[in-house]
């Protein structure tokens, strides 16, 4: 899809995937080494009752799944920003998460063959609970820009 193909209200879903405890701990040792992400014993004694994924890893996995839906890929020029990230429920090892995206705004550039597409995302687990929500402003090019 190119910029001109995005319409307000367009909705898409992604394939689901899970994170193993090893994947959660491996990411967190590098990027978010807090006890409830990297230490099963300390995590069990924490308010979370066990290992949970770093919130930014959940965002990253959700974005990876979003690319698998192949909606943005062909015309993506990156993103200037992301808003209202809300970590609503913990994501635990084995939780199966998937993403729904809904286009909220489409704004053409006044000067260049591209535009901004604001998409609201909801990430749900295997119980249908929303574990994470956010919106991303995507910069997408038009067909005419090679």
What residues line the site for a second copy (CB under 8 A)? Answer: 30-34, 36, 47-48, 52, 54-57, 59-61, 63-64, 67, 73, 76-87
Closer CB to a second copy, 56 or 69, in the complex: 56
Q: Is 9 or 115 the residue whose CB approaches a second copy more closely?
A: 115
Secondary structure string (H, E, C) spanning 15-29: CCEECCHHHHHHHHH
d(CA 26, CA 38): 8
* Between 4 and 32, CB nearer to a second copy: 32
Least distance (Å) between residue 9 CB and a second copy = 24
Residue 142's CB is within 10 A of a number of other CB atoms, namely 16
Min. distance of Cβ 66 from a second copy in angstroms?
10
Q: Is the alpha carbon torsion for 61, 65, 68, 72 positive or negative?
A: negative
How far apart are CB 92 and a second copy at their closest, in Å?
A: 13
Q: How far apart are CA 8 and CA 2, in angstroms?
A: 14
CB of 28 to a second copy, least distance (A): 10
Q: Cβ closer to a second copy: 55 or 98?
A: 55
Could you give the CA distance from residue 80 to residue 67 in angstroms, rounded to a whole number? 17
**94's torsion region: left (phi>0), alpha (psi -120 to 50) or beta?**
left
């Amino acid at each position: 899809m190119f910029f001109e193909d995005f319409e307000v209200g367009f909705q898409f879903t992604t394939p689901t995937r899970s994170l193993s405890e090893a994947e959660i701990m491996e990411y967190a040792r590098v990027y978010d080494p807090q006890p409830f992400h990297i230490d099963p014993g300390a995590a069990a004694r924490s308010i979370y009752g066990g290992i949970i994924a770093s919130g930014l890893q959940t965002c990253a996995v959700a974005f990876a799944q979003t690319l698998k839906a192949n909606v943005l890929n062909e015309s993506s020029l990156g993103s200037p920003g992301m808003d209202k990230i809300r970590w609503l429920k913990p994501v635990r090892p084995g939780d199966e998460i998937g993403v729904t995206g809904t286009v909220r705004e489409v704004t053409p550039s006044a000067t260049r063959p591209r535009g901004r597409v604001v998409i609201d995302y909801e990430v749900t687990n295997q119980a249908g609970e929303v574990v994470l929500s956010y919106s991303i402003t995507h910069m997408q090019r038009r067909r005419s820009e090679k």
